[in-house]
Amino acid sequence: MKASLEDISQVKKKLSVEIDAKEVNRKFNSAYGKIGKQTKIPGFRPGKVPRKILESYFGKQVEADVVSELVNESFPQAVDETKAFPLGQPELEKGPVKQNEKFIYSATMEVRPQFEVKDYLGLEAEKEIASIGEAEVDRKLEQIREANGKLESLTEPRPIQEEDFVVINYQGFENDQPLEGIKDENFLLNVGKGDFHKKFDEALVGLNKDDKKDIVIDFEEDYFNNNLRGKTVRFDVSIVDVKERNLPELNDEFAKNLGADFEDLEGLKKQIEENVVAQEENRVAQDLKRRLIGKISEGTEFEVPEALVDAEVEFSIKGIQSNFERSGANFEMAGLSPEMLEQQFRPLSESRVRERLILGQVAQQDDITISDDEFTEGLEKLAQGMGQDVETIRKYYEARGEIDILKEQMLEEKTLNYLVENAKVKEVEAGALTPDKSDETEVQ
């Protein structure tokens, strides 16, 4: 076998493989030998069918099988020889296979780009001072209070007002034709939040239980639901019920009822403050890391493999799909499609892939690795955060074949920490920096 590699671009290579006639003949002989033993043809004893007859009956099938065997056996060896490890499924071009002739095929593939990262240590970067105020603690406390409130139907009838919860039946129409998927019964809506549309909420204010109303909405061209985007829709709405959220009183009894060994309201506030501080410190730390890797990325030129970008996009879409499935929804109900999400996620996915490749290259250049002890420690932190034991987490990743992925994530985090440790960090006041949204995924 002979293998050669041709550069098409920085990340695209063409691997050409040539297999000599002797090996080709061996495969043909083996294939016809097996068929001859198994085939029954009238006028011939088993195993005594002439080769020419077998060729006339099974020639095309044998050729396909020989090509498959030759490629499957030679390709891994050719890849290893040329050190051209494909990132995705190679695009094969196979020549004809004939007895007594060499067989030639090629595989066009994407590979990891070869590049060098420069000037990545000692970078200047700004970091906000992690700071939280009493108002943030109070806001979190109020969220906990609201989460423990009870929705109860109005005891005394009155018109709907903002912050009420209404149960409605509705059907959407365009040009008096019902819109598929724009219909629901006993739908709960928090008036004033604008979760559906601000004008829809405004039209509900002042109505009473059992009222019916047609609500016409002119949806914006950039409305998140593709089924409603840019349309004028009439909603046939009936008010099934009106509810209000009755909130518990903030006192020691409320704190005790939450569990977690809270003895009083002050103990709850202290825990909330600790959690908020930890979250803010983590946000500031992650923001600094994103700024640093962003600076390095701007100064590092290389081609990003489409195969890795495609995989990242697919991962993001599957994440959205899983979230929908957990809530009993789907893409269609949200007015979305995988094609829309692919277009939206691609720029961010390309940026993420670029940064991961840079982190991998920095780790390689500076010999940064994850030891067995560090991996075990990482598993322990992961298990603690998920409330599971370490072995359960390990078996979970092993069963999914994702141990190497987990190790790579740990290596990326270690490399980011290494960049921070070697950066010239200047602290600035809280709120002084524009938030870095490069790692956020939004569905619009």
Per-run averaged pLDDT (10 residues), the chain, 444 residues = 93 96 95 85 79 89 95 95 90 94 96 93 91 88 91 94 95 93 92 91 95 95 86 96 93 86 89 91 93 93 93 91 80 79 92 95 96 93 88 91 92 96 91 64 41
Helix axes 265-298, 403-421, angle to 10 degrees: 80
**Total domains, the chain:** 3
Give 305's DSSP letter.
P
Q: Tell which residue, 245, 215, 243, has the closest CA to residue 158.
A: 243
Contact 92, 71 (CB under 8 A): yes
Crossing angle of helices 338-365 and 403-421, rounded to 10°: 60
Q: Across 133-207, where does the E strand assignment appear?
A: 150-153, 165-174, 177-190
Q: Do residue 414 and residue 269 come from a single domain?
A: yes
Task: Evaluate whether residue 414 is within a structural domain.
Answer: yes
Asked if 79 and 63 count as a contact pair (C-beta separation under 8 A), the reply is no
Report the length, in residues, of the chain. 444
d(CA 125, CA 435): 14
Show the tokens assigned to 249: 């009183």
Dmax over CA atoms of the chain, in Å, equals 98
Q: What is the enclosing helix (H) or strand (E) of 126?
A: strand 124-128
Q: Looking at the structure, tell me whether residues 291 and 165 fall in a common domain.
A: no
Task: Report helix, strand or coil for 103.
Answer: strand
Does 418 fall in a domain?
yes
Q: Is residue 130 part of a domain?
A: no
Task: Give yes or no: residues 406 and 266 share one domain.
Answer: yes
The pLDDT tens digits of the residues spanning 351-387 come to 999 999 999 999 999 999 999 999 999 999 999 888 8
> Residue 182 sits in which domain range?
150-246
Same domain, 412 and 268: yes
Residues 271 and 227 in one domain: no
Contact 110, 14 (CB under 8 A): no
Q: What is the pTM of this model?
A: 0.74
CA distances from 178 to 172, 174, 175, 227, 333 (A): 6, 6, 8, 12, 15
Please indicate, yes or no, if residue 437 is contained in any of the structural domains: no
Q: Are residues 159 and 292 in the same domain?
A: no
Judged on CB neighbours under 10 Å (0-12, 13-18, 19+), 176 is: exposed
Are residues 411 and 283 part of one domain?
yes
- What distance in Å separates the CA atoms of residue 233 and residue 80, rounded to the nearest whole number? 61
Q: What is the CATH number of the domain that holds 216?
A: 3.10.50.40
Q: Is residue 293 part of a domain?
A: yes
Helix, coil or strand: residue 91: strand
Domain assignment present for residue 137? The answer is no
Q: Is residue 122 one of the residues assigned to a domain?
A: no
Domain CATH number, residue 47: 3.30.70.1050
Q: What is the pLDDT of residue 444?
A: 37
Q: Is the dihedral of CA 247, 253, 257, 258 positive or negative?
A: positive
